[in-house]
Amino acid sequence: MDIKSISPGQCRAARALLDMDQNTLAAAADVSRGVIIDFEKQRRVPGRNNLAAIRAALEAAGVEFIDHSGVRIASN
pLDDT of residue 76: 66
Q: Which CATH number fits domain 8-73: 3.30.1490.100, 1.10.260.40, 3.90.1150.170, 3.20.20.140?
A: 1.10.260.40
pLDDT of residue 54: 97
> Are 65 and 73 a contacting pair, CB within 8 Å?
no
DSSP assigned state of 19: T
Q: State how far the Cα of 6 lies from the Cα of 69, in Å rounded to an integer.
A: 8
pLDDT of residue 35: 98
Domain boundaries, the chain: 8-73
Single pTM value for the model: 0.91
Closest to 55 in 3D by CA, of 34, 30, 23: 30
**How confident is the prediction along the chain (76 residues), in pLDDT tens digits per residue?**
444 789 999 999 999 999 999 999 999 999 999 999 999 999 999 999 999 999 999 999 999 998 777 999 988 6
